Structure 1
Amino acid sequence: MTTNEPSEKTEDRSLNNHAALKTSIANGDVREVKTRLKGHSLNKLEKGYLIDLARLSGNSEIEEVIKSTPES
């Protein structure tokens, strides 16, 4: 059974955005990473994970974009 509560939809969108963000980092798409992070904040754990992912992909520009994103 599926509910249509607003909080559930928001959580689904958030998870989808996070998955798309990880894909953009892995693909080295700086523009897409900037777009997905614009106006958002990251918690400390999530930010650290994304920075590590950017380092693993070898993209220092994406790493700086993530580092400049505010923490929540």
Structure 2
Amino acid sequence: MKNNLEDLHNHLFAQLERLSDEDLKGNELTEEIKRANAISSVASQIINNGNLALNVGKLKYNDQIQKTPKYLEVKSV
């Protein structure tokens, strides 16, 4: 997977644009709202996971912890 936070940012703004479409009415609007809620929920979890990894990286950098699970390691770019 090659998505990053910039991609997430772009997806969220694209969703906002779809929700702002004044021609969307009835079932189409209802479906777009459901999609927006799902995207928002997933986005929140991605952000929470990123914050967790960042906090673990800070703790490791400050020698407050020695070992971290591989999935929480922050990779340098």
TM-score by length of 2: 0.36
Structure number with larger C-alpha Rg: 2
**TM-score, normalised on structure 1?**
0.38
